[in-house]
A and B are shown apart, each in its own frame.
Chain A
Amino acid sequence: AQKVTQAQTEISVVEKEDVTLDCVYETRDTTYYLFWYKQPPSGELVFLIRRNSFDEQNEISGRYSWNFQKSTSSFNFTITASQVVDSAVYFCALSVPQGGSEKLVFGKGTKLTVNP
């Protein structure tokens, strides 16, 4: 089964704390792609990162970093020194081939609230 699990439904932190959002995936494919999206209260989904299954190098972008571990089928997302503007729902997603196209299978999302 192609599945993404985000076990943390809601996380609340105080500004400047570090926070890690967990993502565990299941797939039978050897080549696959994982994504993180941010959805602020306005509703638009904002693309954050894509990772393919052959690239296990961790990535850092400013205060954001991602830890991809194939051995544990995890693709975790860490925000360092969180800010109020980071408050949003964060979705982890897996790209699944279907019908000559691809579709995104999303986890249920983690709602992050950063309090001042």
Chain B
Amino acid sequence: DTEVTQTPKHLVMGMTNKKSLKCEQHMGHRAMYWYKQKAKKPPELMFVYSYEKLSINESVPSRFSPECPNSSLLNLHLHALQPEDSALYLCASSQGRLAGAEQFFGPGTRLTVL
């Protein structure tokens, strides 16, 4: 299984809602990533988990809360988002502690905040 899956594919939420994005991989990878991509822009890193521990937080606002329950799962909890948070959210995974390991990306969740 060389796939990273993400659910849901599309999400529309109001500014007062709480929702979660989910990501799963079964490649035995130990590093998992969340990226945010606005239209016509490159992906921007948000968080990195390595061996289920948060290793990089790119100064992301606290209304985004990541969680890594186990080595195969990665969640992104959303609360009190703003319309400017509307974007494509991409999850990726790679082998942990291997320099230059390629990252495999999921199909993304298209988030719209009203």
A-side residues, CB < 8 A to B, are 31-33, 35, 37, 42-47, 50, 52, 91, 95, 97-104, 106-109
Contacts and interface: CB of A to CB of B under 8 A. Distances in A.
Query: Looking at chain B, what size class is its interface with the partner chain?
Result: 20 to 34
User: What DSSP secondary structure best describes chain A's contact surface?
Assistant: strand
B36 to A, nearest CB: 12
Interface of B: 31, 33, 41-43, 45, 48, 50, 55-56, 58, 88, 90, 92, 99-108, 110
B100 A52 contact: yes
Contacts of B101: 102
Given A99-B55, A104-B45, A47 B103 contact: yes
Contacts of B31: 101-102
Nearest to A49: B102
A43 B110 contact: yes
